Amino acid sequence: MKTLGAGKLILPEHTPFAKPLTVQQCMHYALTHPAVASVLIGCKNRAEVLNAVRYLDMSDEELDYAEVLGSLRNDFRGNCVYCSHCQPCPVNIDIATVNKYLDIGRLDKDNVSPSLRSHYQGLSATGRDCIACGSCEARCPFGVEIIKNMAEAELLFSEFIR
């Protein structure tokens, strides 16, 4: 899971929400998810390290991310930002990676490159393994239709169907 969504979640110009989350809200979001025991924040200087550890002293109100998460801009809904907040998957599909390959493949469906197909097929679990349990969709803050995407990825990248 990318705690800060590669910085997108904390930057006003890139956030998919009405306002950016704080670094500490991002950390709290990650740490309150199943199977997440720690977060690793990329810091480029001492001030950013000190800012991140302020997490330990903040109140529940300061860490609450619900209001911001509820303000998703409509133009982002349904688009995967590869944050992996939908994990864990019971059959260990790397959902963000499958979605990323799918987004690339969708750019030119009739000419999927052999290397892209090969990368997809090299994953330890693919769309073919999806059991449509729906737990990922319940966790995705961006309203991505993951089950549909897994089926589409399998259709697009499977050598047997095409």
Phi, psi of 17 (to 5 degrees): -105, 175
Task: Figure out which of the listed residues 4, 21, 23, 96 binds ligand SF4, where binding follows CB under 6 A.
Answer: 96
Give the nearest distance from C-beta 7 to ligand SF4 in angstroms. Answer: 15
Question: What is the number of other CB atoms lying within 10 angstroms of the CB of residue 81?
Answer: 21
Nearest to ligand SF4 of 48, 70 (CB atom): 70
Q: State which of residues 93, 112, 153, 156 lies at the interface with ligand SF4 (CB under 6 A).
A: 93
Considering only residues 4, 80, 112, 153, which one is a binding residue for ligand SF4 as defined by CB under 6 A?
80
| Residue listed under structure tokens 């097929």 | 121
CA 44, CA 59: separation in Å to the nearest integer?
A: 26
The DSSP symbol for 145 reads: -
Candidates 31-39, 47-55, 69-77, 93-101 — which segment interacts with ligand SF4 by CB under 6 A?
A: 93-101
The answer to whether 85 contacts ligand SF4 (rule: CB under 6 A) is: yes
CA pair distance 99, 112, nearest whole angstrom: 15
